[in-house]
Amino acid sequence: MKFLQLTWFHFKRIVFQNLGLFVFSFVFPLLLIIGVIFMIFSSSTSNVESSLLIVNESEFVTEAILPHLSANYQASVTEDAETAFEQLAQAEVSMVYAIPADFPQEGSVDVYSISGENTDSIFETEFITIFNEQMQQATLARFNLDFVPIEVAEPAIIQIDASMDPRLFLTIFLSVLFMTYTSGFIASDLNKLRNDSVLTRSVISNALSWQILGSILSAYAVYNMLSNLLILLVVSAIYRIQITHIPMIISIFLSFNIYTLGLTMLLFRIFKSEAILSMSSILLMVVLMFIGMPMVDLGPLSFIQYLSPFYWMIESLDTGMILPNLAIVALYGLVFFTAGSFKVERLVKV
């Protein structure tokens, strides 16, 4: 009961009295994630939608091919050739496909671009595939040919894991990145509690040392978990992102929570200055993120990547496996915690 009372006390203190932590662990990450997703994915979507225009004058294409094209290509079809070529001249689109009225009897599909070399291989492949299917069906119907369908057993395809929405991936990555950054704030808060004799007063109140330190870290663990889940829900609601891989996401947040608290104890034991604590957490966050990126080639020092929790998180998201990757992240945190918190009684001495 004493432990829960202390945990609740510190949780209220974190939420209502630690404005700096709230801003840098919730408000700033939330706004940054919303802005980054908007800039990256809205611009890429607009580029895909406006990359080409299809000027169609063929009745055959309108009736037989257009209904079977992908929705984004159907949206790119126009009959206004003059406007289409004006947009091409102003570089609003990268290419224009022109389909004449006598296609496919005599005319051919022409592609125009500013450089004269741009083509859309995906559109051309889709167009030719649908065209061949329609021509085959027309030939069979013309000569009254038919085939007796033969039923065969369809192979069973087992989908091991569905791909994750890249916006969801980015939200998770940035959330745990800022969670790691908060280790400096938590260590600074512990240092402030020591300097203000709050830890000392807790000992006088007959609380055990594990209850004092455990309640503080538990309060931060609950806060980190709730703030990251709330960021995920808000971003998903704004951009209508479907939240998948829920066990994976929960495991990532839990393992990085342990890692952050363990790193907090290590920083708190090594450094005594609040400024140095904050700067060291920023530096560590940048270094760990850099060496943990799969695209970073460290040559003969590539084994260093295994020391970064972000490397193991990306491995989990890439393979869909929670174990052993995220267990390694949590283990790192426990090692840090052990290194930083033995002889806890020293933290509460006057």
Q: Compute the average pLDDT of residues 164-193.
A: 84
Q: Give the class (CATH, top level) of 49-142.
A: alpha beta
* pLDDT of 179 strictly over 80: yes
Nearest to 188 by CA among 102, 250, 276, 263: 276
Contact at 8 Å (CB) between 3 and 137? no
* pLDDT of 160 strictly over 50: no
Q: What is the pTM of this model?
A: 0.65
Task: Quick: pLDDT tens for 251-281.
Answer: 999 999 999 999 888 888 887 777 787 788 8
* pLDDT of 90 strictly over 50: yes
Comparison of pLDDT for 347 and 198, the residue scoring more: 198
- Quote the CA–CA distance of 212 and 7 in Å, as a whole number: 9
Domain ranges of the chain: 2-41+164-348, 49-142
* pLDDT at 48 (0 to 100): 41
Q: Compute the average pLDDT of residues 136-156.
A: 62
* pLDDT of 322 strictly over 60: yes
Nearest to 96 by CA among 112, 119, 73, 75: 112
* pLDDT of 325 strictly over 80: yes
